[in-house]
Structure 1
Amino acid sequence: MQVSNKILQIIGIPHFALLSVIFGMMLLSFPFGVFVVFNTDIGDDINFQYPLNNLDIFKELGYLTPFDIEIGDVFIVLWSIYAILFTIAMFGPDKGFLKALSANLSREKLETKSNYMITITKWFSILILMSIIIDFIQQGFGIVTVPPSVDNNLAQFLYVSLSPIVEEIGFRVILIGLPLFVFYSHKLSIKHFFKSIWNPNRNLHIYNSRKILFLIVLVGIFFGLAHIMTGEPWSEGKFAQATVSGIILGWLYFRFGLITAILVHWGTNYFIFSYANFVSQTNEMTIEAAFSHPLINTMEMLFLISGIFSVSVLLITYFNSKKEQTLKIE
């Protein structure tokens, strides 16, 4: 036990250093995103003043907003929501991010549940690691993941910024949160309902984890299918990636709350695309070329290493807890 704790403490130093770097990069993505949308030609023939109703997605759905809303208006609303959630994550639920970091570095046993942002950066890197592994394996079998065709980079950036909120409400809140509330709520009140939807694990008396895991996996599979069957779908290679991502996001929603699931999803969408579009616009290259830029490659490598550390910490912590349970029984 002492040896594993020592290993955990040694791993913890670079692990939390990497999480701090990811946190800083996430923070910088906020001004980067604003700069890209309002100060570059990301949209080519359209800009942030382009009417929302003229976007192809609204034409295809046959739905028109009753107000004169522009792309810039929606982006600012989304940006503000994420900024608020990010701020909450920095200081909650129990400790601030920096305070939680220093506390973890000064003790043998790591505690990551006291701050949302530690959980978010850790699981974001794990999700990226899993996606890279899945893509590597699939390419070995000749399965290539092809994204939907994009006609306009500004519209794409808007869509990827919107999807974390829409998809987390649709797949996690409605398909996981509501059933959990129906089956495990011990009282009926508006306040308790919203608290349970916000963080099911903290506010519901859940006693059968197997049923929860089954539901999370089922919704994850549905999430994967949705990516290859609806709207402008990805190629079939996206199914495995999206399914694993859906399972991870579902677990995060159940275990740590909606804010964690939304911001991890936000990380894979807005965060990454804000940097890619920033590189694209400042270097006058296509978005596809930007994803091969040294900066983006360095970021990917950082996420990969952080993911490996995060998985290692999770495994060591898990086996330590099992040993503690065994010792208590004995």
Structure 2
Amino acid sequence: MTSMFLGIDGGGTKTAFVLIDDSGRLLARHESTTSYYLEIGFDALRTLLQDGVQAVLGQAGVPAFDIAHTFAGLPAHGEDSALLASFDGLLADLLPRSTVGNDMVCSWAGSLAGADGISLVAGTGSIAYGEWLGRSARCGGWGEVFGDEGSAHWLAREVLALFSRMADGRAERGPLLGLVRDHFGLTHDLDLCAAINGSAARSGFAQIARLATAAAHAGDAQARQLLVRAGDELAALAAGVARNLGVSGIQAVPVSYSGGVFAAAELVLGPLQAALSRRLPGAVLTTPRFGPELGAALYAARLAGRPLSDQALERLAR
């Protein structure tokens, strides 16, 4: 009998629902908005999950009882002990067999297909997670106020800080100055204050990070340096996980990645590789095998005690 697994990959920008079976077939997929409860509220999060689950079950034409297991990886899970019971009960009335955890697990399970190693996440926020010989550890994920280094939110903040220095004449003016002016439609540079203060959404703010990549491609050396710093901060997260796992001195530790910051490609991956060689010698930067949404479904299969075979993984990759 075919077993089906539902994965839910939450994030600061979007939430993906994916249903697969044990032969590696993709049965249904649905995408929704942010599932960051601090931005949308817990009631809205519950509704988002209910709607998403019903959407994928409707696409596949299967009842909830037929799902062998569901894993939902949600941002900020585990970061407030008082809310753990509320998080863990989000799917209880929808799916008889379900587990809720942090979205970092989705990225690890997808990028490394469930193999030992370390996964870096640099989306709206940043975090690293790894597993090694049955042990697990995380690093980062402290939020945008005093953490999330190397994330899109962090990059966006650094972009605006650099813009302010350029506008003031404290820094040499480069292409970033015009790109920020165009992005916000600024008549006066100080109007940026009103534009930012009037739009506090975390996910929307993080989109400004893309201007660092655009400016770097336009030859802005200072913007390029922001991406170099991002790579170094992310390497520090990987080294922290390795230290916590006790694998700092082990050669050939796979390190993979996911998240929108990596859309900058070599502008981030190059500095990341260089920083890893300093901070975690022997680390092997590995191209992600699957995205975090499929990672959530693969982790659901693992929790059900029915991890996908190599043949099924190859089919899923195709």
Q: What is the TM-score of this pair, normalised by structure 2? A: 0.36
